[in-house]
C-alpha cells in the first residue's frame, strides 16, 4: 500500500501523517520501511512534527526489532536504516548521537552514519575532536579514524598530536588506526621519527614491522 501512496500523494496532511504513524508503529518492520520511505517524500527540516515522529519510531524499533545476530545468521528486518537516512537529511545530529549511530550493532545503521561522517568531517572541527576521543575511549570501531586519516581529512595540529598519542594505546586496533597518521603530510619529520621510535618498541608485531618498514623509507 505504501509504495503506490508514495508515488501518488503530493501533499502532506494529517491523513498522510496518520498513515505514516500506523505503518511505523503498528505493523512489522517491512511495512515500517515502506512507511518511512513515504515519510521521506515530506522530510523537510521545517517539518518538526514529522521529525519528532521519526525519532520516536527510531527509538521504538531499537526496542522492538529482533536482536542482531552476533555469531552469524540471518539479519532480521528493521526500518532503522531508512529512518536514520531521513533523520540525518532533516537535521544535524549531535556529535554524541552520531558516535552512537557509528557504534550500533546493525551494520546498515553504521553505514548510514559513516556516509554522514564522511560528508561532514572536513568542515566540522568539533566532529573531528569527537571522532578522536570516541576512538580513544573505544566507543566506536577504530576503522572510522583509519578511514578518515586515509581520506586526508583536515586534522588540526592539536588533533594530529592527539592521534599520535594513541600509538601508545593499550588496544592494538586503536594503535594501528592511529599509526596511519604517520603516513600523512600532517606529521613533521621530527615528529615522525619520534613516534617511529615508540612504535618500534611496541609489543605488537604488526605495529613494530610497520614502523620498521616506514623508517626504512626515510
Per-residue pLDDT tens over the stretch 141-160: 999 999 999 999 999 999 99
Could you tell me if 48 and 17 are in contact, meaning their C-beta atoms sit under 8 angstroms apart? no
The CA distance from 147 to 177, in Å, is 8
Q: Is pLDDT of 211 > 90?
A: yes
Maximum Cα–Cα distance for the chain, whole Å?
A: 68
- Of 75, 72, 83, 148, which is closest to residue 117 (Cα–Cα)? 148
Q: Is pLDDT of 10 > 80?
A: no
CB within 8 A of 176, min separation 6: which ones? 142, 146, 204, 206, 207, 210
The CA distance from 50 to 127, in Å, is 26
Could you tell me if 177 and 171 are in contact, meaning their C-beta atoms sit under 8 angstroms apart? no
The CA distance from 196 to 53, in Å, is 51
Q: Is pLDDT of 12 > 90?
A: no
pTM for the model stands at 0.90
Q: Which of 2-16, 58-72, 103-117, 139-153 has the lowest mean pLDDT?
A: 2-16
pLDDT band per the 50, 70, 90 thresholds, residue 62: very high
**pLDDT for position 73:** 86
Amino acid at each position: 500500500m505504501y509504495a503506490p501512496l508514495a508515488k501518488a500523494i503530493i501533499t502532506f496532511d494529517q491523513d498522510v501523517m496518520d498513515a505514516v504513524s500506523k505503518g511505523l508503529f503498528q505493523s512489522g518492520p517491512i511495512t515500517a520501511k515502506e512507511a518511512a520511505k513515504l515519510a521521506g517524500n515530506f522530510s523537510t527540516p521545517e517539518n518538526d512534527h514529522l521529525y519528532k515522529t521519526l525519532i520516536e519510531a527510531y527509538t521504538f524499533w531499537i526496542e522492538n526489532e529482533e536482536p542482531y545476530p552476533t555469531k552469524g545468521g540471518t539479519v532480521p528486518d528493521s526500518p532503522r536504516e531508512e529512518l536514520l537516512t531521513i533523520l540525518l537529511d532533516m537535521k544535524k545530529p549531535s556529535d554524541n548521537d552520531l558516535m552512537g549511530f557509528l557504534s550500533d550493532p546493525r551494520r546498515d545503521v553504521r553505514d548510514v552514519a559513516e556516509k554522514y561522517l564522511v560528508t561532514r568531517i572536513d568542515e566540522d572541527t568539533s566532529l573531528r575532536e569527537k571522532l578522536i576521543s570516541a576512538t580513544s575511549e573505544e566507543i566506536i570501531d577504530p576503522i572510522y579514524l583509519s578511514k578518515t586519516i586515509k581520506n586526508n581529512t583536515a586534522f588540526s595540529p592539536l588533533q594530529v598530536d592527539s592521534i599520535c598519542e594513541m600509538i601508545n594505546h593499550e588496544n592494538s586496533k586503536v594503535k594501528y588506526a592511529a599509526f596511519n597518521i604517520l603516513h600523512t603530510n600532517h606529521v613533521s619529520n621530527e615528529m615522525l621519527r619520534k613516534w617511529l621510535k615508540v612504535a618500534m618498541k611496541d609489543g605488537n608485531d604488526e605495529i613494530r614491522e610497520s614502523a620498521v618498514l616506514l623508517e626504512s623509507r626515510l
